Amino acid sequence: MTCGILPVIDKQVCSFERWFIEHLADIPDPGHAQIIRRYATWEVLPRLRTRAEKKPVTPAARRHVADQVKQATAFLGWLADRDHTLATCGQTGIDAWHAEHNQHARNTIRGFLLWCSASKLTRPFRLPPVQISRAAPMPQAERLELIGRLLTDPSLPLRARVAGSIVLLYAQPLSRVVRLTLDDITRAEQQTLLRLGEPPSPVPEPLAELLFRWIGSRDNMNTATNHACQWLFPGRRAGQPLHPDVLGRVSGRDQ
């Protein structure tokens, strides 16, 4: 591929395509699977490939399009739970869904809803304006004080200490922190590394020690379907990570 005979294949695009095949197979409703296949084939993948032609797709961009597909799948399930389909979905349904979900979910589902409208799969509706929340940056002195407490105060829940330290030390949103897996944590030459991108970031002590203590005592690991879970912060639902809102309540941070 490097000598110009074959086109360069973006590894993140390939990763998404492999993931999508598995995701599609896990959708129990054939009608829902057909819609999601159309959405990914005609909307998501073309945009991702166009982006890859200009510059390599980042892991964050790959996660974002996967989140769009997962949110679209969840939306179809939400409609079905209320005895509705896309064909019967109109303004009332759109407003109800937005009222029940947070801003991150609303922004993530937007592309799918616009595609549905353009494809005339739904009744006419109007989406609320996009809102991008920007929290005021934490003063440096307050940030350092909070990091110090998280790293040294044994009275705090271990989950909050680990998650909060990652948020503050590496400037990561909780929506990214909950997607971390055990494979993102490695030991190399007596150094702990955390893969938030490439290259992985060093983890200083005492956070490294807290991190491995947490791995050995993670919550929500006692069910038969969750005992082999690879998420760093497992959720109560088998195979799913903890929701950012739940982790935020524990660590005292927004997503």
Assess whether pLDDT exceeds 60 at residue 131: yes
Which whole number is the average pLDDT over 177-189?
A: 86
Instruction: Specify the pLDDT at position 170.
Output: 87
Q: Go through the domains of the chain in sequence order and give each one's CATH number.
A: 11-118 (no CATH), 140-251 (1.10.443.10)
Assess whether pLDDT exceeds 90 at residue 113: yes
Assess whether pLDDT exceeds 50 at residue 183: yes
- Give 249's pLDDT tier (boundaries 50, 70, 90): low
| Neighbour-count burial of 63, counting CB atoms closer than 10 A to its CB (0-12 exposed, 13-18 middle, 19+ buried) | middle
State pLDDT tens for residues 32-55. Answer: 999 999 999 999 999 999 988 888
**Strands, E, within 51-101: which ranges?**
none
Single pTM value for the model: 0.53
Assess whether pLDDT exceeds 60 at residue 86: yes
- Give 3's pLDDT tier (boundaries 50, 70, 90): very low
Nearest to 211 by CA among 236, 168, 182, 244: 182
| Residues found in the chain | 255
- Give 132's pLDDT tier (boundaries 50, 70, 90): low
Instruction: Specify the pLDDT at position 225.
Output: 52
Q: What's the mean per-residue pLDDT of the chain? A: 84
Which whole number is the average pLDDT over 184-207?
A: 86
Tell me, letter by letter, the H, E, C secondary structure of 112-142.
HHHHHHHCCCCCCCCCCCCCCCCCCCCCHHH
Instruction: Specify the pLDDT at position 2.
Output: 39
Which whole number is the average pLDDT over 67-88?
A: 95
Q: Are 186 and 196 in contact (CB under 8 A)?
A: no
